[in-house]
Chain A
Amino acid sequence: MSKIEKALNKARTAGMLQVMSPAEPIAAGQAQFSNPETLSTGKTIAPTLEQRAISTGAISRMREDGLLGKDILVQNGIIYPEAGENATVRAFREIRTKILQKTGGRNGTIMVTSVTRHGGGSFVALNLGVAFAFDAGKTAMVVDCNFSNPTLQNLFGSRKNRGLTDYLEKSDIDVSEIIHPVGIERLRVVPSGGRREISAEYFTSFKMKSFLDSVARRYAERFIILDAPPMTETADTRILADLCDYALLIVPYGKVTEQQIIASAKAIGEKKLIGVVFNNNTRPPNVRWRKIFTNPFGILFRRRAYRIPKK
Chain B
Amino acid sequence: MKFRSEHYIQLLINEAFQYRKTVVGLFIFINLSLLALGLSWPKLYTASTTILIEDKKIIQPLMQGAAVATEVADRARVFKDVIFGRKNMGRIIEAAGWLKNDPSPTEQEQITEGVIRRTKITNIGTDLIKIEYMDVDAERAYKTTKNYADLFIAESLAAKAAESKAAFDFIEQQADVYHQKLTKAEEQLKEFRSENLETRPGSDADIGSRLSALQQKIEQSTDELKDLEIKKKSIEGQLSGEAEVATVLSREGQYRARIAELQSQLDTLRLSYHDTYPDIIRIKHQIEDLNDAIAADRKNREAAKAAGKITIDESVINNPMYQQLRRDLSQVKINIDTQAARVAEAKRDLQREIDLGKRVHGGEAALAELTRDYQVNRDIYQDLQRRREAARVSMNLDKERQGLNIKIEEPAVLPLQPSGIQFIHFILAGFFLSIAVPVGLLYAKIELDPRVINGSSITDKCKLPLLAEVPHLWSPRETEEVQRGLTWQYLLIIGTVVGIAVIASVNTVNVLSQ
Set B457, B461, B466, B488: member contacting A275, Cβ < 8 A? B466
Q: Which B residues between 450 and 493 are near A, CB-CB below 8 angstroms?
A: 450-453, 455, 457-458, 461-462, 464-480, 482-484, 486-488, 490-491
Q: Is A251 an interface residue (CB 8 A)?
A: yes
Q: Is A256 an interface residue (CB 8 A)?
A: yes
User: A280 near B451 (CB under 8 angstroms)?
Assistant: no
User: A292 near B487 (CB under 8 angstroms)?
Assistant: yes
User: A283 near B449 (CB under 8 angstroms)?
Assistant: no
User: B464 near A275 (CB under 8 angstroms)?
Assistant: yes
Write out, one digit per residue, whether chain A residues 196-223 have a CB within 8 A of any chain B CB (1) or not (0): 0000000000000000000000000000
User: B450 near A258 (CB under 8 angstroms)?
Assistant: yes
User: A299 near B467 (CB under 8 angstroms)?
Assistant: no
Q: Which A residues between 285 and 308 are near B, CB-CB below 8 angstroms?
A: 285-288, 291-293, 296, 299-300, 304-306, 308
Q: Which A residues between 134 and 164 are near B, CB-CB below 8 angstroms?
A: none
User: B479 near A276 (CB under 8 angstroms)?
Assistant: no
- Report how far A27 CA is from B18 CA in the complex, Å: 47
Contacts of A232 in B (CB 8 A): none
Contacts of A285 in B (CB 8 A): 472, 474, 478-479, 482
Contacts of A308 in B (CB 8 A): 477
B451 CB, min distance to chain A CBs, angstroms = 5
Q: Is B170 an interface residue (CB 8 A)?
A: no
* Number of chain A interface residues as a range: 35 or more
Q: Which of A2-10, A11-19, A90-98, A181-189 contacts B (4 or more CB under 8 A)?
A: A90-98
Write out, one digit per residue, whether chain A residues 81-116 have a CB within 8 A of any chain B CB (1) or not (0): 000001110011011001100000000000000000
Q: Is B17 an interface residue (CB 8 A)?
A: yes
Q: Is B15 an interface residue (CB 8 A)?
A: yes
User: B468 near A95 (CB under 8 angstroms)?
Assistant: yes
| Known contacts A88-B473, A251-B458; is-contact A300 B488 (Cβ 8 Å) | yes
Q: Which residue of A lies closest to B446 (CB)?
A: A254
Q: Is A175 an interface residue (CB 8 A)?
A: no
User: A257 near B452 (CB under 8 angstroms)?
Assistant: yes
Write out, one digit per residue, whether chain A residues 23-38 have a CB within 8 A of any chain B CB (1) or not (0): 0000000000000000
Contacts of A291 in B (CB 8 A): 483
User: B467 near A77 (CB under 8 angstroms)?
Assistant: no
Q: Is A53 an interface residue (CB 8 A)?
A: no
Contacts of A71 in B (CB 8 A): 476
- Report how far A186 CA is from B196 CA in the complex, Å: 151
User: A278 near B470 (CB under 8 angstroms)?
Assistant: yes
- Report how far A94 CA is from B476 CA in the complex, Å: 23
Set A75, A99, A255, A293: member contacting B475, Cβ < 8 A? A75
Which residue, B14, B461, B462, has most C-beta atoms of chain A within 10 A? B462
Q: Which residue of B lies closest to A275 (CB)?
A: B467
Set B17, B451, B458, B484: member contacting A255, Cβ < 8 A? B451
User: B468 near A287 (CB under 8 angstroms)?
Assistant: no
Q: Is A124 an interface residue (CB 8 A)?
A: yes
Q: Which A residues between 245 and 271 are near B, CB-CB below 8 angstroms?
A: 248-249, 251, 253-258, 261-262, 265
Chain A contact residues: helix, strand, loop or mixed: mixed
Q: Is A46 an interface residue (CB 8 A)?
A: no
User: B452 near A79 (CB under 8 angstroms)?
Assistant: no
Contacts of B480 in A (CB 8 A): 304-306
Set B458, B471, B483: member contacting A88, Cβ < 8 A? B471
Q: Which A residues between 117 and 134 are near B, CB-CB below 8 angstroms?
A: 120, 123-124, 127
Q: Which residue of B lies closest to A289 (CB)?
A: B486
Q: Which residue of A lies closest to B488 (CB)?
A: A300
Set B18, B455, B469, B483: member contacting A288, Cβ < 8 A? B483
Contacts of B477 in A (CB 8 A): 75, 304, 306, 308
- Report how far A282 CA is from B451 CA in the complex, Å: 14
Contacts of B124 in A (CB 8 A): none
User: B467 near A282 (CB under 8 angstroms)?
Assistant: no
A87 CB, min distance to chain B CBs, angstroms = 5
User: B18 near A282 (CB under 8 angstroms)?
Assistant: yes
| Known contacts A248-B467, A256-B452, A276-B464; is-contact A287 B486 (Cβ 8 Å) | yes
Q: Which residue of B lies closest to A78 (CB)?
A: B473
* Number of chain B interface residues as a range: 35 or more
User: B470 near A120 (CB under 8 angstroms)?
Assistant: yes
User: B487 near A254 (CB under 8 angstroms)?
Assistant: no
Contacts of B213 in A (CB 8 A): none
Contacts of A274 in B (CB 8 A): 465, 467
A128 CB, min distance to chain B CBs, angstroms = 10
User: A253 near B453 (CB under 8 angstroms)?
Assistant: yes
| Known contacts A251-B458, A254-B453; is-contact A305 B476 (Cβ 8 Å) | yes
- Report how far A172 CA is from B474 CA in the complex, Å: 42
A-B CB pair tally, cutoff 8 Å: 153
Which residue, B13, B458, B470, has most C-beta atoms of chain A within 10 A? B470
User: A281 near B467 (CB under 8 angstroms)?
Assistant: no
Set B457, B472, B482, B491: member contacting A296, Cβ < 8 A? B491
User: B468 near A91 (CB under 8 angstroms)?
Assistant: yes
| Known contacts A257-B451, A281-B472; is-contact A98 B467 (Cβ 8 Å) | yes
User: A88 near B476 (CB under 8 angstroms)?
Assistant: no
Contacts of A304 in B (CB 8 A): 477, 480
| Known contacts A94-B467, A98-B467, A278-B468; is-contact A77 B473 (Cβ 8 Å) | yes
User: A280 near B470 (CB under 8 angstroms)?
Assistant: yes
User: A258 near B483 (CB under 8 angstroms)?
Assistant: no
A292 CB, min distance to chain B CBs, angstroms = 5
Q: Is A279 an interface residue (CB 8 A)?
A: yes
User: B471 near A87 (CB under 8 angstroms)?
Assistant: yes
- Report how far A139 CA is from B450 CA in the complex, Å: 40
Contacts of A124 in B (CB 8 A): 470
User: B482 near A287 (CB under 8 angstroms)?
Assistant: yes
- Report how far A257 CA is from B484 CA in the complex, Å: 33
Q: Is A284 an interface residue (CB 8 A)?
A: yes
- Report how far A74 CA is from B15 CA in the complex, Å: 24
Contacts of A254 in B (CB 8 A): 18, 449, 451-453
User: A257 near B450 (CB under 8 angstroms)?
Assistant: yes
User: A296 near B479 (CB under 8 angstroms)?
Assistant: no
Contacts of B465 in A (CB 8 A): 274-276
A274 CB, min distance to chain B CBs, angstroms = 8
- Report how far A77 CA is from B478 CA in the complex, Å: 11
| Known contacts A276-B466, A287-B479; is-contact A258 B461 (Cβ 8 Å) | yes
Which residue, B449, B450, B451, B482, has most C-beta atoms of chain A within 10 A? B451
Which residue, B471, B482, B487, has most C-beta atoms of chain A within 10 A? B471
19 contacts between A and B (CB under 8 A): A88-B473, A92-B470, A94-B467, A94-B468, A98-B468, A249-B464, A253-B453, A254-B452, A256-B451, A261-B462, A262-B462, A274-B467, A276-B465, A280-B470, A284-B14, A285-B479, A296-B487, A299-B483, A299-B487
Which residues of B line the A interface, CB within 8 A? 13-15, 17-18, 449-453, 455, 457-458, 461-462, 464-480, 482-484, 486-488, 490-491
Which residues of A line the B interface, CB within 8 A? 71, 74-75, 77-79, 86-88, 91-92, 94-95, 98-99, 120, 123-124, 127, 248-249, 251, 253-258, 261-262, 265, 273-288, 291-293, 296, 299-300, 304-306, 308
Extra A-B contacts (7), CB below 8 Å, given A306-B476, A306-B477: A251-B452, A258-B461, A273-B464, A277-B469, A281-B472, A282-B14, A296-B490
